[in-house]
Amino acid sequence: MQLVVMGVSGSGKSTVAALIAGRTGCALAEGDDFHPVSSIARMAAGCPLDDTLRAPWLVAIAGWLTERAARGECAVVSCSALTRAYRDILRGAGPDVRIVHLAGPYELVEQRLAARCGHFMPRELLASQYATLEPLAPDEPGLTVDLTKTPDQIADEILRTLRRPSGRHR
């Protein structure tokens, strides 16, 4: 299994990805760590990234997933993956890539961002992320989870759902 935990900044991606990796023994990566310094500086200054700036970041994350799959390792990565085109790049890492979208209300995520310290992503960019966000389409392999639940409840739901033998999950 190669799992991408997606959502807007402040949705809980990193926390949930770490819980899942801890419970499964999968390799863990923080998607933000794949950004070049210039992109982090741009976002910290309140400027959203465009597709041209996101492309190498997504390719690097897909490469990390591909490497884990080639070694026969399961992997979990947190990544905003806001559009289908971005998720298509990540799914290019192999047939076992699944996407989990942490979805929920703007107001709650905004409150989380306001309370968060030490992260480069300013609260002011949240609106641009929601404007860009394309929820999982019905034909995309993955799962949408309500981010208003606790991180433990979210991780439990993800693991329970992904362990089902059926193909597609919602």
Q: Is residue 11 in some structural domain?
A: yes
- For residue 145, pLDDT beyond 50: yes
pLDDT-derived band of residue 166, with 50, 70 and 90 as boundaries?
Answer: very low
Residue 164 has pLDDT above 80, yes or no: no
Residue 10: is its pLDDT beyond 70? Answer: yes
Answer yes or no: is 17 within a domain. Answer: yes
Rounded CA gap, 35 and 47, in Å?
Answer: 14
Within a domain: residue 13? yes
170 belongs to a structural domain: no
Query: Is 168 contained in some domain?
Result: no
Q: Is there a contact between 76 and 67 (Cβ–Cβ < 8 Å)?
A: no
Residue 55 — left, alpha, or beta (φ > 0 → left; ψ -120 to 50 → alpha)?
alpha
Which has more pLDDT, 153 or 141? 153
Q: What is the number of structural domains in the chain? A: 1
Residue 87 forms part of a structural domain = yes
* Ramachandran area for residue 148 (φ above 0: left; ψ -120 to 50: alpha; else beta): alpha
Q: Are 61 and 34 in contact (CB under 8 A)?
A: yes
The vertex-17 CA angle with 13 and 23, nearest 5°, equals 150
Q: Is residue 167 part of a domain?
A: no
pLDDT bin (cut points 50, 70, 90) of residue 17 is very high
Structural domain containing residue 8: 2-162
Highest mean pLDDT among 49-53, 80-84, 119-123, 127-131 belongs to 80-84
Domain CATH code at residue 7:
3.40.50.300
Question: Closest by alpha carbon to 32, among 75, 80, 67?
Answer: 80
Is 80 within the bounds of a domain? yes
pLDDT attached to residue 123: 56
